[in-house]
Amino acid sequence: MSQIRDTYHAALRHDHVEPAEEDLVVGVVRHPVYGIETLLDRNVPALAPPEALLGDFEAVEERDDRTHDEAWDEVNFAERYREYLQHAAVQQVMDDLLGELDSGKGDLWLVCYENTDDKRCHRTILQEVLRERAGRSD
Q: How confident is the model at residue 138 (pLDDT cuts 50, 70, 90)?
A: low
Domain spans of the chain, in order of start: 4-134
Of 6-10, 75-79, 82-86, 132-136, where does mean pLDDT reach its minimum?
132-136
DSSP H helix total and E strand total for the chain:
6, 4
Distance between CA atoms of residues 56 and 127, nearest Å: 23
Burial letters 122-138, b for 16+ CB under 10 A, else e: bbebbbebbeeebeeee
Q: What is the mean pLDDT of the chain?
A: 93
